[in-house]
Chain A
Amino acid sequence: TSEQIEHLHRRFKQLSQDQLTIRKENFDSIPDLEFNPIRGKIVHAFFDKRNLRQESDGLADEINFEDFLTIMSYFRPIEMNMDEEQLDRFRKEKLKFLFHMYDSDHDGKITLQEYRNVVEELLSGNPHLEKESARSIADGAMMEAASICVGQMGPDQVYEGITFEDFLKV
């Protein structure tokens, strides 16, 4: 809605200190975001070119208001008057946004190391936890994903990583 766009515009101006674009450093000015364990990934997601619907890959240096809105539009609620196909597409887009957050090296697959990275970050607020537990948790979760996506695997198969289709299945 237009009021939402206005609100976001004000916020954009606040974050960018009245400039036309935002850089990564501007996100440091949000106090509460400091406590968020996956802060890095969230900020990264704003600059991820795949999310900005640009054809290229990699990270943008700065984003303007239009890009800001594009990212925010992933969080729109589902409207009642959508038909099946639109609904499906909408959901896929949202899930793709999340997928990009997991897949930090942009190769289209979530490998074990990336997954471990995610779990470690999630649990980083917990000082008592050893690294080993985080690792084993990630391994376990990867296992579950493998069993859902691929089912029974033969002795020669090696599980590369979770692709987007597998991610949807999960």
Chain B
Amino acid sequence: VLAALAAGAAEARATSEGQLPGAAAMGTGTPPSPSGTAFEETRLHVFTLDYPHVQIPFEITLWILLASLAKIGFHLYHKLPSIVPESCLLILVGLLLGGIIFGAEEKSPPVMNSDVFFLYLLPPIVLDAGYFMPTRLFFENFGTIFWYAVVGTLWNAIGIGISLYGICQISAFGLTDITLLQNLLFGSLISAVDPVAVLAVFENIHVNEQLYILVFGESLLNDAITVVLYNLFKSFCQMRTIKVIDIFAGIANFFIVGIGGVLIGILLGFVAAFTTRFTHKIRVIEPLFVFLYSYLSYITAEMFHLSGIMAITACAMTMNKYVEENVSQKSYTTIKYFMKMLSSVSETLIFIFMGVSTVGKNHEWNWAFVSFTLLFCLIWRALGVFVLTQIINVFRTIPLTFKDQFIIAYGGLRGAICFSLVFLLPPAVFPRKKLFITAVIVVIFFTVFIQGITIRPLVEFLDVKRSNKKQPAVSEEIYNRFFDHVKTGIEDVCGHWGHNFWRDKFKKFDNKYLRRLLIRENQPKSSIVSLYKKLEIKHAIEMAESGMISKVPSSVSLSDYHEGKIKPLSPTEMENMREILTKNLYQIRHRTMSYNRHSLAADAGEKQAKEILIRRRHSLRESLRKTNSLSRERPVLA
């Protein structure tokens, strides 16, 4: 379609050029004197084709449409997404498309513009990931994540850079003109683990949350280091002499980039939460604030050359806690769906563009460089993870096993970020830019295809602990809270300022100041109570819809019944309560959302309909069986 349009565009341009001076002339009032068609009157056109007028939006829409249609295509064949991750298929589609465009027009297809990628395609994905990140788990493992992200990336970058330089020195490969600094720069951009690729691959294999958060958290946090190293080495390549002061400036720059990004994110997150405090009159634009503020944090950070990814992650995580309570239920649903839609579209586009941009004339193949790059990437990653884990295990309560380490090393996928970064290299300073591009593409393809496809069977083979999607239960919530308080109490007794101590302190500060400021109707919140209230509400709605109000009492009415008695509950009542609970538990709104990005909880409507049918059948059976009814039959209160 695009090729045909391109041909049509050429035609249309010719006709419109003829028309345009005419139109302009009519505007100024002088008689028309068209350039090509002198003295030829243009008849009234019954049907015109004016492609350039709509070219840009038209092409964008077509690309997005194509991406989404491709996605539908994959899921038509059931088994395919479970064997091959979507990212691979999308790249293949992109390759195909690139090939077609190349064949049709005999020139390189549009390369993914790095600006487009960094400013438009990347933020939605990071926002989505940050908003639904399990914060508690993230902060519990924060030390480890930070360690892997910073030291691990440094290790990889310098290791790969230096070893590649060693290879370049061997004159037989014809690479001696690549300097050490260029190699280091290459190392720094290729060692960045990519959040997009990690998300795309990990979301289908369902490893346990801790492992997931380690790899994913690392991919987010290493953006700070990548930005710093990349800019550092790029400037070094362009400077004549390098002084020691520059190295210190680099280190200082890292702190500023990282911390500055996070601060901007948190600040704008608070502002967003504060804004939503006042939006109860205009519910319709509530979702807009969430998106605007987070995007604002991203581009503000980018403006100062700070880490945009960390800014938007911090903003999303901050906003999530407070905004959720201020906005209406409908707004919350809108935010959720819209975010997932945007991120899904972005991800698809990124992979397709990667495929398209691969085809073309900007390649230079050199066996040694490419293969050694790939080899070193793998070796240094494995070594890095192993060494770093031995060190960090000393500080962890639950040490990381070899299986965990293997998955962390194997899950270090490269993706679109290094792809874009390599395209951003200034060709004047890097005469062998094409070689770098080729090497990066090979590494990305290897990690996405081979590692992406094989990680699932490996996870099963190694019997890695998977995430268990169980229903939230009130007793579980109770036990968890109990454990937390016990741990905090023991820490107080020991006089030890541990994890629980700080978390408790933060909670108190939060309750005292932040929540009062940022949340509209502030009531001290207990997770147990809110969970239970949701259960009751769902139960009430269900009952009202299925018309079973007077048959089964809720446990609220039951507790009246037992005032002052220590005798345990009688079995019929227990059975009824059990039924209520088991049937309602699965419909709770998941606040700690699982990280699976592409499948939201199944539509409540269809499940409810089934439920009502089951209930009706059951109630018919019950009413035939039941001889006694309970002494109190109160209508259910929400």
Contacts and interface: CB of A to CB of B under 8 A. Distances in A.
A153 B574 contact: yes
B528 A143 contact: no
Nearest to B524: A126
Given A33-B489, A111-B568, A123 B581 contact: no
Interface in A30-51: 30, 32-33, 35-39, 42, 46
A69 to B, nearest CB: 11
Interface in B91-128: none
Contact of A42 (B486, B535, B566, B572): B486
Interface string B507-539: 010000000000000011010110011010000
A136 B539 CA distance: 14
B492 A139 contact: no
Given A125-B524, A132-B559, A153-B575, A38 B529 contact: no
B486 A98 contact: yes
Contact of B486 (A101, A132, A146): A101
A32 B498 CA distance: 13
A160 B474 CA distance: 20
Interface size class of chain A, counting residues whose CB lies under 8 Å from the partner chain: 35 or more
A136 B494 contact: no
Interface in A69-88: 72, 75, 77-78, 80
A135 B575 CA distance: 18
B569 A112 contact: yes
A49 B366 CA distance: 75
A147 B524 contact: no
A156 B501 CA distance: 48
A111 B120 CA distance: 58
B582 interface: yes
A144 interface: yes
B478 interface: yes
B304 interface: no
A39 to B, nearest CB: 7
A156 B397 CA distance: 47
Given A36-B488, A101-B486, A146 B524 contact: no
A145 B494 CA distance: 33
A140 B582 CA distance: 11
Interface in B472-505: 473-475, 478, 481-483, 485-486, 488-490, 492-495, 501, 504
A156 B556 CA distance: 24
A157 B524 contact: no
B577 interface: yes
B492 A30 contact: yes
Given A132-B556, A147-B582, A137 B529 contact: yes
Given A118-B482, A128-B523, A77 B398 contact: yes
Contacts of B558: 136, 139
A13 B485 CA distance: 24
B174 interface: no
Contact of B574 (A32, A72, A128, A159): A159
Nearest to A147: B578
A45 B508 CA distance: 25
Given A42-B490, A139-B569, A123 B535 contact: no
Contacts of B526: 122-123, 126, 129
A170 interface: yes
Interface residues of B, number: 47
A135 B571 CA distance: 18
Contact of B532 (A133, A146, A155): A133
B547 interface: no
Prevailing SS type, chain A contact patch: helix
A119 B397 CA distance: 28
A139 B559 CA distance: 8
Contact of B399 (A80, A101, A112, A135): A80
B578 A123 contact: no
A42 B453 CA distance: 50
B555 interface: yes
A8 B491 CA distance: 11
Nearest to A116: B559
Contacts of B37: none
Contacts of A145: 475
Nearest to A134: B529
A14 B483 CA distance: 26
B265 to A, nearest CB: 30
Contact of B489 (A11, A15, A42, A112): A42
A139 B529 contact: no
Contacts of B489: 33, 36, 38-39, 42
B478 A135 contact: no
Contacts of B560: 132
Contacts of A122: 478, 481-482, 485, 526, 528
A7 B398 CA distance: 22
Contacts of A8: 494
Contact of B475 (A7, A77, A113, A170): A170
Given A153-B574, A159-B568, A140 B532 contact: yes
B570 interface: yes
A33 to B, nearest CB: 5
A12 to B, nearest CB: 10
Interface of A: 7-8, 11, 14-15, 27, 30, 32-33, 35-39, 42, 46, 72, 75, 77-78, 80, 98, 101, 111-113, 118-119, 122-123, 125-129, 132-133, 135-137, 139-147, 153-161, 170
25 contacts: A11-B494, A14-B495, A15-B493, A33-B489, A38-B482, A72-B490, A72-B494, A98-B482, A111-B566, A113-B566, A119-B528, A122-B482, A122-B485, A122-B526, A123-B529, A126-B526, A127-B524, A136-B556, A139-B559, A140-B474, A145-B475, A155-B571, A158-B568, A159-B568, A160-B568
Interface of B: 397-399, 473-475, 478, 481-483, 485-486, 488-490, 492-495, 501, 504, 508, 523-524, 526, 528-529, 532-533, 535, 555-556, 558-560, 566, 568-572, 574-575, 577-578, 581-582
Closest 5 CB pairs of A and B: A141-B475, A42-B489, A135-B559, A32-B492, A143-B577
